[in-house]
Amino acid sequence: MKAIIDCNNFYCSCERLFKPHLHNRPVVVLSNNDGCIVSRSDEAKRLGVEMAGPYFMAKPLIEKHNISVFSSNYNLYGDLSWRVMETLRMMLGKKNVEVYSVDEAFLDLSIFPENELQAVAMKIRTTVEQWTGIKVSVGVAPTKVLAKLANRLSKKNKQQTQCVMVLDTEEKIIEALRITPVEDIWGVGFRYAQKLKEFWGIYDALQLRNVSEEFARTHLGGVVGVRLVRELKAVPSKEMEDELVSKKMIATTRMFGSPVGDINDIKEAVATYTSRAAEKLRRQHGAARIVNVFIVAKGEDHNTDYRGAMHSHFITLPTATSFTHELIKPAVALVDTLYKKGTLYKKAGVMLSGIVPDASIQGNLFVSESRNCERKLMDMIDNINFSQRDDVLKFAASGTTRDWKMRQELRSPRYTTRWNELYEVH
């Protein structure tokens, strides 16, 4: 049996943790640049605030109901996420926890007898809440897709379920499938849901479970669809994954706080994003050969990925590297080839690919003394920055004024990672 554990309204919960007066009050948290709403408390949901809706459109509603609004505070959320995951790892053992996102983790519960699962799930929920202050929901079932479904149902009626739902019999599974609309299944997005309903009259998860594998293969994305239907049938087809599996592409891209016309500002931004990407690269012990930079001018569609993005160039390095300074140099040079004077830009991004394990870099066998020093330097920088959950140490190319930085006008203090922003009790 597997479980998915999910922090309730995670970003909002993090904000409330240090603002007790906001308990039972409506709260929302905004995306980068204060653009969209990405987290809502239950009270805000009930007032009709839409998920992922633009902030400026929701503003009248927010002001009318006096809803508290916060910019994203990733230092805080990242730290609290880490605490939640550490709690799970301590309870269940590292190898039984697969961190799936900042606020979710899959758990392998096969070490427990089935008749104890309800109690185990409850224990997990209460322990996480007691140790971190974050409320979570737990869904338990034979497969990941069914666990997700259980998790979702556990939140529907919190009073009754206490945010825990275990689907351990065929009857419970059937009933859960029956009351779940097809669009609420993990792996069925907007497009598939529309197709399923309009063309084939499939409206709930139970109906979808009963389609043939051929149908799933043809209409739901090939083997992806086949796996999905099998999971609904309680046949495990998405196994627990090793978190150490390396990413094949690492990207850091951001909108600017306001449009930028100065090439030096763009270079600073690109250097900053490159540093972040390099940090992620080193965390997975990787090294990259391909550096891709793109910039998007004001008025252009920024919802394109790196393939379609305007003004994108890449460079292939002679050898793969994970050293920030060796990646910044070519990245900044690419800005020169992309930039057009007199144009205002609203977004830039850096992508690293051609990633190999850094132990296998060609020529790495006989590394010189100086490269070892550089490696130690990178480790030191990473350790210090990690301890702050922020880049307190940075390369000069990243600039110091950062006029291009994103808007975060409503950010709360970084309570858990900065001494001078510590929560005060009077």
Partner DNA sequence: TCTGGGGTCCTAGGACCC
Residues that bind DNA (CB under 7 A): 31-33, 35-36, 38, 52-54, 56-57, 100-104, 148, 185-193, 221-224, 247-255, 276-277, 280, 302-303, 305, 307-308, 347, 349, 406
CA distance readout (Å), 306 to 99, 247, 267, 328: 26, 16, 18, 18
Q: How many residues does the chain have?
A: 426
Which residue's CB is nearer to DNA, number 33 or number 321? Answer: 33
Q: At what angle do helices 117-132 and 74-92 cross, to 10 degrees?
A: 140
User: Quick check: helix, strand or coil at residue 286?
Assistant: strand
Q: To the nearest 10°, the Cα dihedral for 185, 187, 191, 197?
A: -40
Cβ 210 to DNA shortest distance, Å? 19
Which residue's CB is nearer to DNA, number 101 or number 383? Answer: 101
Which residue's CB is nearer to DNA, number 242 or number 424? Answer: 242
Which residue's CB is nearer to DNA, number 38 or number 109? Answer: 38
Which residue's CB is nearer to DNA, number 206 or number 350? Answer: 350
Cβ 19 to DNA shortest distance, Å? 22
Short-list 86, 101, 385, CA closest to 243: 101
Q: What is the 3-state secondary structure (H, E, C) of 117-156?
A: HHHHHHHHHHHHHHHHCCCEEEEEECCHHHHHHHHHHHHH
Half-sphere exposure of 5 (CA within 13 A, CB side): 29
Cβ 117 to DNA shortest distance, Å? 22
Which residue's CB is nearer to DNA, number 55 or number 415? Answer: 55
Pairing of strands 136-141, 2-7: antiparallel
Cβ 218 to DNA shortest distance, Å? 9
Cβ 33 to DNA shortest distance, Å? 5
Q: At what angle do helices 324-338 and 263-283 cross, to 10 degrees?
A: 140
Cβ 112 to DNA shortest distance, Å? 25
Cβ 405 to DNA shortest distance, Å? 11
Short-list 335, 230, 238, CA closest to 293: 335
Pairing of strands 37-40, 27-30: antiparallel
Cβ 342 to DNA shortest distance, Å? 18
Short-list 312, 254, 268, CA closest to 31: 254
Which residue's CB is nearer to DNA, number 92 or number 296? Answer: 296
Cβ 403 to DNA shortest distance, Å? 16
Pairing of strands 2-7, 27-30: unpaired
Which residue's CB is nearer to DNA, number 93 or number 189? Answer: 189
User: Quick check: helix, strand or coil at residue 359?
Assistant: helix
Short-list 10, 18, 21, CA closest to 77: 10
Cβ 422 to DNA shortest distance, Å? 28
Inter-residue contact 79 to 102 (CB < 8 Å): no
Which residue's CB is nearer to DNA, number 17 or number 255? Answer: 255
Read off the tokens for 167.
């689907």
Cβ 57 to DNA shortest distance, Å? 7
Number of neighbours of residue 232 by Cβ within 10 angstroms: 25
Question: Which residues have C-beta within 8 Å of that of residue 170, sequence separation ≥ 6?
Answer: none
Distance CA 186, CA 225 (A): 11
Which residue's CB is nearer to DNA, number 140 or number 251? Answer: 251
Token pair 């008749």: residue: 115
Distance CA 313, CA 424 (A): 49
Distance CA 60, CA 193 (A): 32
Which residue's CB is nearer to DNA, number 57 or number 380? Answer: 57
Token pair 């997700």: residue: 148
